[in-house]
Amino acid sequence: MMMTAASGNAGTATATGRTPTTAVPASVWWIAVVLASGSVLTGLDTSLVNVGIEAIGRDLGASLTEAQWINSGYLLALAATLPVCGWLSRRMGAGRLWLWSLVGFTLTSASCALARGAELLIVTRVLQGLTGGLLIPAGMAILGQIAGRERMGRVIALSSVPSILAPAFGPIIGALLIDNFSWPWMFLINVPIGIVGLLLALRVVPRGEAGHAGRLDLPALLLVALGLPLLTYAVTAAMDRGGLLAPAVLVPLVAALVALALFVHRSLRADEPLMDLRLARDPVYAAAAGTIVFSGAALFSGLIVMPLYFQVGMGRGIIDTGLLLMAFSLAAAVTFPVAGRLTDVHGGGVVALIGLVVVVVGTIPMALLPADPDLVLVEALQVVRGVGLALAGSPAVSAALARVRSHQMPDASSQVNTLSRVGGAIGSALCVVVLSGALADAGSDAEVAAAFRVTFRWLTGMAAVALVLATWLTRAQRRARRVEAR
C-alpha cells in the first residue's frame, strides 16, 4: 500500500467510502474544553475593544486615529507571532508553549487595564497580541496530536465554537461594561478567565515533548514577520482610506507581497524551514488550504459587513446589533458538533462542499433585499449562513490537519490559522472598500440598500470561489482514499 502523509494515523474506509468513527475519550474532551479558553480570550478581547475604542481615546485624551492603534497594534502583533508558533512548539512542546502563552496573555491583559496613557496602552496591547497569537495555533496543535485522524472533525469542531460566539457576545458585553463600569474592565475580564483556564490546564493539558526544532531561520522570520503585519496593516488602512491604491496603502501592500514571496521561496529551499510549506505538495492539504483561505474570507467579511448592515442599513443601535448577530453565531455554534461528526464519517471535503452551497444559497438573497427588508427574513438568512459556514470552516481545517503526521502538526496548525486570518483580512478589506465607496455616493435609503447589495455580491463571490476549491478538496480526498485502499 502506498504511504501518504497521513498514513500514520489514518482510519480505514469502508466499501461505501465512509470511515468508521471511534468514540472520543473523555480526557480528550476535557482538554479541548480547557484549550477553548484561549479562543474565548483572544476572540472576546478583540470584539470588546472594538466597541470601546472611542471611550478609551476620550478617557486617555487620544485622537481617534491614535486610539485605533490600540486595536491595530494588537492585530499586527497577533499576525507576527503565527509563523514562529510551529518552531516554538517543536522546541519546547506545544503544551508548554500554550501554558506560557496563557500566562502572558493574562498578565498583559492586567497591564492593559492599568495603563494610564495611550502610548503605554498601545505597548501593552502589542505585548498582549504577541502572546495571544500563539494561543490558538498551539492549542490546535495539541488537539491534532491527541485526537487522531478518525476523531479530528469532532474535536476541531468543538474547539471552533468559542471563536464564532465571541463576535456576537463581545459587543454586548463591551457596551454593558462601558455603560456601567469603565474601559479597564474590558481587559480585567480576561484575568479570571485566564486564571481558571491555567489552573485547569495545569491538571489536564499534556506538555508535549521538546524535540529537534533546528536552528531558527532568522531571515525567514524577519521576512514573514514583516510581510504579515504589513499585509494586515495595508488591508486595515484600506478600510480607513477607502481604497487599495492610496499611497499609504499601496506601499506597504507591495512591500508585504515582496517579503512574503521571498519567504515562500526561502522556505521551499531550506533544509529546516521556519514553516514547512512543502506540506502543500499533498493535493488534499493544498485543496484544504485554499478552501480555508476563501472560507475565512467569507466568514470574517460577513462578521464585518453584517454589523454595518444592521447599524447603517437598518438604523439599529449597538446593543440591538449585537442581539441580531446572535442568530448567526448561535446557528453556527449548534451546527459545529454536527459538522464534526459528519467530517469524521464522510471526510471534510464533502461536508465543506455542502456547507458552502448552503452559504451561497443564504447570501444570494441578501444581495436582493430592498431598503426596508423584513427583519425575520434577514435573521432567517443569518441562520442559514451560520449553518453553512459552520459546515464549511472546521471540516476544511480538519481535512488539512488529518493529512499530516504528529510531528508536523505544529507547522500545519500555524499555517491553517495564518491562511484563515490572511483570507479574512483581505476579504474584509475588499468588502469594506466596496461598501465605503458605494456609501459615499448614497443619498437615500434606496441607495444605501443598493450599496449593501453590491457588497453582498462580493460576499457571494468569495463563497463561490471557496465552493470551487471545496469541490477540488472532495475529489482529492476520494483519490487519496482509493490510493490508500490499494
Enumerate residues 6+ apart whose C-beta is below 8 A from 439. Answer: 312, 448, 451
pLDDT at res. 357: 96
Higher local confidence (pLDDT), 22 or 116: 116
| pLDDT exceeds 70 at position 15 | no
Q: What angle do CA 98, 102, 105 make, to 5 degrees?
A: 135
- Separation in Å, CA 282 to CA 156, 251, 264, 473: 21, 34, 17, 11
- HEC profile of 151-166: HHHHHHHHHHHHHHHH
Neighbours of 63 (CB within 10 A): 9
pLDDT at res. 8: 36
- Could you please report the per-residue DSSP string of 220-263? HHHHHHHHHHHHHHHHHHHHHHT-SSSHHHHHHHHHHHHHHHHH
Question: Could you give the percent of the chain with pLDDT greater than 70?
Answer: 91
pLDDT at res. 224: 85
Using the 8-state DSSP alphabet, how is residue 24 labeled? P
Higher local confidence (pLDDT), 65 or 331: 331
Amino acid at 223: L
| pLDDT exceeds 80 at position 245 | no
Distance CA 465, CA 426 (A): 14
Are the beta carbons of 83 and 35 closer than 8 angstroms?
A: no
Amino acid at 454: V
Distance CA 338, CA 362 (A): 19
Question: Could you give the percent of the chain with pLDDT greater than 90?
Answer: 26
pLDDT at res. 454: 92
Distance CA 102, CA 197 (A): 8
pLDDT at res. 6: 38
Rounded to two decimals, what is the model's pTM?
A: 0.79
State the burial class of residue 199 (Cβ atoms within 10 Å of its Cβ: 0-12, 13-18, 19+). Answer: exposed
Q: For the chain, how long is the longest CA-to-CA vector? A: 69
pLDDT at res. 329: 86
State the burial class of residue 179 (Cβ atoms within 10 Å of its Cβ: 0-12, 13-18, 19+). Answer: exposed
C-alpha cell at 367: 444581495
4 — pLDDT class (breaks 50, 70, 90): very low
How large is the average pLDDT for residues 123-140?
88
For 29, the 3-state DSSP assignment is helix
C-alpha cell at 84: 514562529
Report the range of poorest mean pLDDT among 67-71, 287-291, 456-460.
67-71
Q: Which of 59, 83, 261 is nearest to 253 (CA)?
A: 261
Convert the pLDDT of each residue in 309-363 to its tens digit. 888 888 887 778 778 888 998 898 889 888 888 888 888 899 999 999 999 999 9
pLDDT at res. 11: 45
Neighbours of 405 (CB within 10 A): 14
Enumerate residues 6+ apart whose C-beta is below 8 A from 11. Answer: 19, 20, 149, 150
Convert the pLDDT of each residue in 146-193 to its tens digit. 777 777 778 777 777 777 777 667 777 877 887 788 889 989 989 998
210 — pLDDT class (breaks 50, 70, 90): low
State the burial class of residue 385 (Cβ atoms within 10 Å of its Cβ: 0-12, 13-18, 19+). Answer: buried
How large is the average pLDDT for residues 267-278?
84
Are the beta carbons of 287 and 349 closer than 8 angstroms?
A: yes
Report the range of poorest mean pLDDT among 124-138, 232-246, 303-317, 432-446.
232-246
Distance CA 358, CA 455 (A): 19
Average pLDDT, the chain: 83
Q: Which of 97, 90, 161, 92 is nearest to 130 (CA)?
A: 97
289 — pLDDT class (breaks 50, 70, 90): very high
Distance CA 186, CA 44 (A): 9
pLDDT at res. 16: 41
Q: Residue 10 CA to chain centroid, in angstroms? A: 26
Q: What angle do CA 444, 445, 448 make, to 5 degrees?
A: 90
Q: Residue 5 CA to chain centroid, in angstroms? A: 25
C-alpha cell at 171: 459587543
